[in-house]
Amino acid sequence: MPMPLWWGQINKRVFNPRAVRSGKWQVIHHVGRSSGRSYRTPLEAHEVDNGFMFTLVYGSRSDWVRNVMAAGAAKLDVDGNTVDLVEPQVVGAEEAFARLPAGTKRPPGFLRIGEFLMMRRADDEDE
Cα–Cα distance for residue pair 114/2, rounded to 1 Å: 8
DSSP 101: P
Cα–Cα distance for residue pair 41/75, rounded to 1 Å: 11
What's residue 76's pLDDT? Answer: 96
Q: Are 116 and 92 in contact (CB under 8 A)?
A: yes
Domains assigned to the chain: 5-121 (2.30.110.10)
Cα–Cα distance for residue pair 84/106, rounded to 1 Å: 25
Mean pLDDT per block of 10 residues along the chain (127 residues) reads 58 57 78 93 90 92 94 94 96 93 80 90 75
What's residue 30's pLDDT? Answer: 95
What's residue 5's pLDDT? Answer: 60
What's residue 101's pLDDT? Answer: 86
